[in-house]
């Protein structure tokens, strides 16, 4: 089997320089070049692959039992002629609070700009890409699925093809279930300041830790507030647990299911809208996907929707389906 | 130690006759008479004790390891002079879907009327009670705590003293966390009709069963709709999980924390408002209690608020605190 | 439907007087008399019904949602002619550490003698029983199932019919899985002395509490040692967790699957050997039952063996099957 | 901070050629060379680092949130002068059933020979090592900790320094607790053959999957039998769950706590015996470590024993302690 090439680029981001969390502005970004890239002067479509919360692109190269890395998966799919040769780009939008949701936030940084402006340009300038939206896809899992949804809706001029595996959507069901755990965690770890400082070192990392981290990070992304401690508002009162409706409504402005009409033209323009989720998803994301596609259907927008009998974790095998769908969507006009 | 007397009355309810769920209208209601009742002609205050979801008054007589029955507890508290002699009434508002929340619902029955009209009158007519609101208390645990809150707010002329152990309140945190399990349950058990019929017999009764039962029953209580299947609306779409805002807002009209201003005069008139909850409450009810008393405080209404290091279940020992508080509230004007 | 009568006898036990745990020697023992008992002078078979760990006979009268009490169940089974009229006896062998396994132990008390001598005689002397082993059955659930197995094997002259629901057997799988939790619990609660004193009051009663209590109690029953603290040996080193082989081998002398050859004549003489267990039993008791009946089969001893799709708890509905099997076994020689 | 070099060697193993599971005999083995290696002609001690079950050496290079890779960790420890420069070798003893326990088994392959003969020689021949047992250490976590214990005991001429993080030992507590889950799993997945074939693809991988896989793999390592299906004996009857004492006793011949007297001279000769485990270890491995060091102590053999407040997973930070202990043990004779 022919093997593609992986180049790990070290990219100094201008938009991340001086980011509010003090995270590095120099990032390592793996680029997968398909077999044959170096032997030809052909141009290739590009797929941006976004990792989930607490992930970054280099993790897609991690070795795991009984699993392929993303490049190994791509090599196989190409060898089996399931997928056409494409370039894969694996951004690093990790932060000290676990992630960025691939959006701009005054509390976290300009990760949306980093991906849609800097990385897209960098790749187009340094690799033989087909540099238009009909040959540029975005796909991801979990928070990366969210990133795919939100970037494709907000940047249809950049991404013409989109796929989301178990992406965060319908915040009502996927985030609120963490709030009770976050309330317990904030108490257990001694308040927001202590938790904040302890993120890299708190042990053990139990369920309350995860709920707290997730809630903090989503708040930093969705409800930033330069005047608040750590630069964001929590969506609830830390003592009574009472939902702050005004903060929650700011979160909802970032909920994909709420954004369909706002971005209806973008959605209509996409050459692929692919969503899936597991029937046992621990964050109930199958429901968000159903709501999303139900609303697309009501508006006459085509989509691919799949469900599978598994949970939220260890489902990288689902990339077989999305990469094929992306390849099909890109190449059907090219035969 | 002197022992009180327990009489199990068999009471035919007029308001429950022909109830929509086909539950019995004849109910067995234990009445606890304190030591000395039969040897005197004194009149006594009355405490209505409301059980939690899936409970009924006779269960307060159940034998359990290392535990007192409610009458045994009362005997001890009286013998130790912690509590003054009082009559206890233990209503049966159980239904085939687990309970009634002690309110009237076209889908469930007139349990509010049953307690506040029928039982109160029956007890006053048949026992030597002090038949006024300042000598009539209502207390309960979980759904019974909810019942205490709601009945005291809605019937201050009947109940002048109220205590809630881990009562359902702030529905946002206590009920919504069941919705994902209810969605799974409705699918697993073959839809609402099959689940409905199977309630008494489905095995095993796992977490999804409990979440489904609880959600169904709350919907029947809070969002009845004579035109809907089984007479009520679910608060979400059974397929997509999407919250039905209009149904949810009908639930919120029954949420104690939302009802404070509506019943502000009633609350001000109460001689005791007692709330507690465990710090590990599995339904997050400590937060609802905090919100409730925070709002009372903001309005200058006095209350007793306690928290304890335990969960939601097996906390009957908390009745020691509420019964003392009730006794103190009733008798402080009587020395 | 005709209803039987329940008499709660108060029985002063001679053999429990001065028992080592300081538990009461006066016990309340419910006796169920079938419909017609008072209107005839017929004599009836007797079934001793043994409750599980932390249970006692009066709990069989407890009210529970969607459930019958044992007398209600018996009334129905008799009315439907599934079961013939029989007397039921519900012993109280509860202790301050949760139970006695219905055996004699120098650390716990003489509960085997209490049941097989005192209660059997008391009932025969005070009720119109058919006072022979072919008309006297023993049945129970969990530790009560264990009690049924062990008493029938050791006292075939007393009990000719036996049924065990999810009874403790094959200690290797059913008890050892608690040892790690007991090790944690003994550390968490401050050692054996503090745990011992705290049994009635420790909160919350979590999984480690249950594992610790269960292990302590089984040790007191199976490996008593008058010279050891609290009168028994633990089966492991409390610090290193190392199994004490000598103590464990004393436990195994009480394991039903190990006792078959020792009591082979007794087993052969029984008119009914009934065992069942759930396929999801939390204590893995389905395996013990399988081993037990496999060994019976290898020795040509007949038995009834059932399995069902449920766990260890809330399975009182299984009494329908055992009571029918008992009735059939007793009455098939009497038509 | 100076960075070491990682070379991923591709090594064709003679002893693994034709292994019974059909696993590859060509393995990728990362070698870490400390900063300065290429600029000098110094010779260095060597540390073999063994991964846990389902792991292989390349996974020690995996990127993870808030974590260092093993080379990054080593770079830091060297830069901070906590650890002296040493070469690290990261073997791949993964198999299609998850691992090999680093021993020879007719059912799995000759992984003990692969490490102690082939890899040791390869490294000594291809790198500037100090090629004696006093400068060669073995360390690992979980099954890798087991590998360290067993290889150091069996090959003291090869390894003079040993460290085990949460290593498998005292099989009674660490493996038996999986047997009930393995029994359920074998039933659920349709028997051993179907499970065997499905290992790489079964979804979801729940607790029963893990218990089954772990039990199967340990049986293949500890109780191989060329005449049995798949080449090994299970330690229990798959239907009744009854322990096969003869098979279990073969497992115990591989239990480190049982092997101390057999390998007493080897243990006495080691320049470092380091064991640790978390106080919340999900496999109860803190007890095995305590038993192991208790027995060493009774025999006057020195050791380092640490416990920490964490579980079994995500504890790679513990390598800071073992690498320092290894470095100290090697270099204290060299100043």
Q: pLDDT tens digits, residue range A180-189? A: 999 999 999 9
B242 vs A contacts (CB less than 8 Å):
170, 172, 287, 291
| Confidence label for D334 from pLDDT (cuts 50, 70 and 90) | low
Contact residues, chain A, for D55 at CB < 8 Å:
65
**pLDDT at residue A102 tops 80:** yes
How much is the pLDDT for C333?
A: 59
Measure CB to CB from residue B62 to each of C63, C280, C314 and give the nearest one.
C63
Residues of B in contact with C56 (CB under 8 A): 63, 65
- Say whether residue B66 is in contact with chain C using an 8 A CB cutoff: yes
* Angle ∠(B223,B228,B234) on CA atoms, nearest 5: 45
Interface B-C: count of C-beta contacts within 8 A: 48
B34 pLDDT band, cuts 50/70/90, is very high
CA distance C131 to chain B (A): 30
Question: Cα(C85)–Cα(C79) distance, rounded to whole angstroms?
Answer: 9
Distance CA C242, CA C251 (A): 16
- Chain C residue at shortest CA distance from B55: C65
R_g of chain C computed on alpha carbons? 19
Best probe of the B interface among A169, A175, A242, A284, by most B CBs < 10 A, is A242
The nearest alpha carbon in chain C to B98 belongs to C65
Counting Cα atoms < 13 Å in the Cβ hemisphere of A302 gives 6
Span A162-210, pLDDT tens digits: 999 999 999 999 999 999 999 999 999 999 999 999 999 999 999 999 9
How far apart are the CA of D316 and the nearest CA of chain C, in angstroms? 24
Give which of C177, C242, C255 to mutate to test D binding, by max D Cβ within 10 Å: C242
Contact C59 B62 (CB under 8 A): yes
> Could you give the percent of chain A with pLDDT greater than 90?
98
- The SS3 assignment for B22 reads coil
CA distance D283 to D198: 25
| pLDDT in the model for residue B13 | 98
Grade residue A334 by pLDDT with cuts at 50, 70 and 90: low
CB contact under 8 A, A204 and D311: yes
The verdict on a CB contact (< 8 Å) between C243 and D172 is yes
pLDDT at A333: 59
First to last CA, chain B: 24
Residues 46-65 of chain B with CB under 8 A from chain C are: 54-56, 58-59, 61-65
Interchain pair B199, C66: CB under 8 A: yes
A311 and D199 within 8 Å at the Cβ level: the answer is no
Q: Identify the band that residue B1 occupies on the pLDDT scale cut at 50, 70 and 90.
A: confident
Q: How far is D176 from chain C (nearest CA, A)?
A: 8
**Where do the DSSP E strands lie in A121-206?**
136-141, 161-165
Whether A86 and A332 have beta carbons less than 8 Å apart is answered as: no
Residue of D nearest to C280 (CA): D184
Q: Is D54 helix (H, G, I), strand (E, B) or coil?
A: coil
- Out of A62, A200, A310, closest to residue D203 by CB: A310
Find the CB nearest C241 among D183, D242, D287. Answer: D287
Closest CA to C311 of C276, C269, C282, C268: C282
* Chain center to CA of A184: 27
CB pairs under 8 A between A and B: 52
Does residue C132 contact residue C269 with C-beta atoms inside 8 Å? no
Contact A204 D58 (CB under 8 A): no
In tens, the pLDDT along A264-285 reads 999 999 999 999 999 999 999 9
Contact across the interface for D62 and A66, Cβ inside 8 Å = no
| Secondary structure (DSSP) of C251-280 | HHTT-GGGSTTTTHHHHHH-SEEEEEEETT
Q: Average pLDDT in the A298-319 region?
A: 97
Q: Does the distance separating the beta carbons of B243 and A290 come in below 8 Å?
A: no
Pair A192, A230: CB distance under 8 Å? yes
The pTM score is: 0.96
> Considering only CA atoms, which of D97, D305, D284 is closest in space to residue D173?
D284
Q: Are B152 and B162 in contact (CB under 8 A)?
A: yes
Say if the Cβ atoms of C66 and B309 lie within 8 Å.
no
Nearest residue of C to residue B65, measured between CA atoms:
C54
ipTM exceeding cut-off 0.90 for this assembly: yes
C175, C251 contact by CB (below 8 A)? yes
Query: What are the φ/ψ torsions at residue B312 (nearest 5 degrees)?
Result: -95, -20
The chain B residue lying nearest C311, using CA atoms, is B204
Nearest CB to D176: which of C176, C240, C241? C176
Average confidence (pLDDT) over B93-108? 98
Minimum-distance CB partner of B203 among C203, C205, C310 = C310
Please indicate whether chains C and D are in contact, defined as at least 3 beta carbon pairs under 8 Å: yes
Q: Does the beta-carbon distance from A242 to B179 stay under 8 Å?
A: no
Distance between CA B4 and CA B44 in Å, rounded? 13
Q: Which of D176, D179, D291 sits opposite C242 (nearest CB)?
A: D291
CA of C20: how far to CAs of C25, C107, C196, C310, in Å?
11, 6, 14, 37
Q: Is C10 exposed, middle or buried (0-12, 13-18, 19+ CB in 10 A)?
A: exposed
CA nearest to B278 within chain C = C204
Residue C136 sits at the vertex; the CA angle it makes with C132 and C139, to the nearest 5 degrees, is 160
Residue A165, CB-side half-sphere exposure with 13 Å CA sphere: 26
* Nearest alpha-carbon partner for C277 in C331, C333, C321, C326: C321
Longest dimension (CA), chain A: 64
Q: In whole numbers, what is the pLDDT of chain D averaged over residues? A: 97
Average pLDDT, chain B: 97
With beta carbons under 8 A apart, name residues in chain B contacting A287.
180, 183, 240-242
- Tokens 């359990």 belong to B64
Please, do chains C and A touch (3+ CB pairs < 8 Å)? Answer: no
CA distance D186 to A193: 48
Interface test with B, best of A180, A188, A256, A305 (most B CBs within 10 A): A180
Query: B66 pLDDT exceeds 80?
Result: yes
Share of chain A above pLDDT 70, in %: 99
Q: What is the DSSP secondary structure assignment for residue C139, as one 8-state letter?
A: E
Please say whether the beta carbons of D305 and D325 come within 8 A.
Answer: no
Q: Which helix (H) or strand (E) holds B30?
A: strand B26-33
**Residues A90, A28: Cα–Cα separation, whole Å:** 9
Chain B nearest C-alpha distance from C87 (Å) = 22
- C296 to chain B nearest CA, in Å? 30
| A161 SS3 class | strand
Strand order in the sheet with B46-50: B5-12, B26-33, B87-89, B46-50, B136-141, B161-165, B272-278, B304-308
Question: In this complex, do A290 and B176 lie within 8 Å of one another by their Cβ atoms?
Answer: no
User: Of A63, A64, A310, which has the smallest distance from its Cβ to D204's Cβ?
Assistant: A310
Q: What parts of chain C have a pLDDT lower than 70?
A: 333-335
Chain C CB contacts of D176 under 8 Å are 176-177
Instruction: Tell me which residues of chain A, numbers 183 to 222, contact chain D at a CB-CB cutoff of 8 Å.
Output: 199-200, 203-205
Average pLDDT score over chain A = 97
A286 pLDDT tier (thresholds 50, 70, 90): very high
pLDDT digits (tens, 9 = 90+) for D31-52: 999 999 999 999 999 999 999 9
Peptide bond just before D88 cis, omega within 30 deg: no
> Subunits touching B (CB < 8 Å, at least 3 pairs)?
A, C
10 Å CB burial of residue C204 (0-12, 13-18, 19+) is middle
Q: Name chain D contacts of C172, Cβ cutoff 8 Å.
A: 242-243
pLDDT digit string, tens, across residues D243-279: 999 999 999 999 999 999 999 999 999 999 999 999 9
- Predicted local confidence at residue D115, as pLDDT: 98
Q: Which chains touch D (3 or more CB pairs under 8 A)?
A: A, C
Q: Which residue shows structure tokens 């389902």? A: D54
Of C239, C287, C290, the CB nearest to D290: C239
Per-residue pLDDT reduced to its tens digit, A69-83: 999 999 999 999 999
Q: Please, which residues bridge with residue B243 across strands?
A: B236
Using the Cα atoms of residue C31, residue C32, residue C38 and residue C42 in order, give the sign of their dihedral. Answer: negative
Residue D242: list chain C partners with CB under 8 A: 170, 172, 287, 291
Nearest CA in chain B to C202: B310
Please answer yes or no on whether A291 and B183 come within 8 Å at the CB atom: no
pLDDT score recorded for residue D335: 46
Backbone phi and psi for residue A179, each to the nearest 5 degrees, phi listed first:
-65, -40
């Amino acid at each position: 089997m022919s093997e593609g090439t992986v180049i790990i680029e070290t990219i100094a981001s201008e938009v991340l320089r001086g980011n509010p969390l003090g995270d590095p502005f120099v990032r390592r970004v793996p680029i997968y070049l398909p077999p044959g890239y170096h032997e030809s002067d052909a141009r290739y479509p590009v797929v941006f692959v976004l990792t989930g919360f607490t992930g970054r692109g280099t993790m897609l190269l991690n070795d795991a039992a009984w699993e392929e890395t993303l490049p190994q998966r791509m090599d196989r799919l190409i060898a089996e002629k399931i997928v056409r040769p494409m370039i894969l780009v694996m951004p690093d939008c990790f932060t000290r609070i676990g992630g960025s949701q691939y959006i701009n936030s005054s509390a976290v940084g300009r990760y949306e700009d980093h991906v849609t402006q800097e990385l897209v340009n960098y790749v187009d300038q340094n690799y033989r890409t087909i540099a238009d939206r009909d040959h540029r896809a975005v796909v991801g899992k979990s928070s990366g699925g969210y990133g795919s949804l939100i970037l494709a809706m907000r940047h249809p001029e950049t991404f013409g093809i989109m796929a989301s595996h178990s992406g965060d959507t319908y915040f009502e069901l996927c985030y609120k279930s963490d709030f009770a755990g976050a309330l317990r965690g904030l108490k257990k770890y001694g308040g927001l300041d202590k938790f904040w400082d302890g993120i890299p070192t708190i042990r053990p990392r139990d369920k309350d830790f995860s709920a707290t981290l997730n809630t903090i990070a989503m708040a930093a992304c969705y409800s930033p507030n330069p005047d608040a401690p750590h630069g964001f508002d929590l969506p609830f009162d830390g003592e009574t647990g009472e939902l702050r409706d005004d903060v929650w409504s700011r979160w909802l402005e970032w909920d994909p299911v709420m954004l369909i009409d706002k971005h209806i033209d973008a959605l209509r323009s996409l050459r692929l809208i692919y969503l899936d989720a597991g029937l046992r998803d621990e964050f109930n994301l199958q429901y968000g996907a159903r709501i999303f596609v139900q609303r697309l259907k009501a508006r006459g927008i085509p989509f691919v929707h799949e469900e599978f009998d598994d949970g939220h974790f260890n489902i990288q095998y689902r990339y077989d389906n999305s990469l094929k769908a992306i390849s099909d969507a890109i190449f059907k006009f090219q035969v």
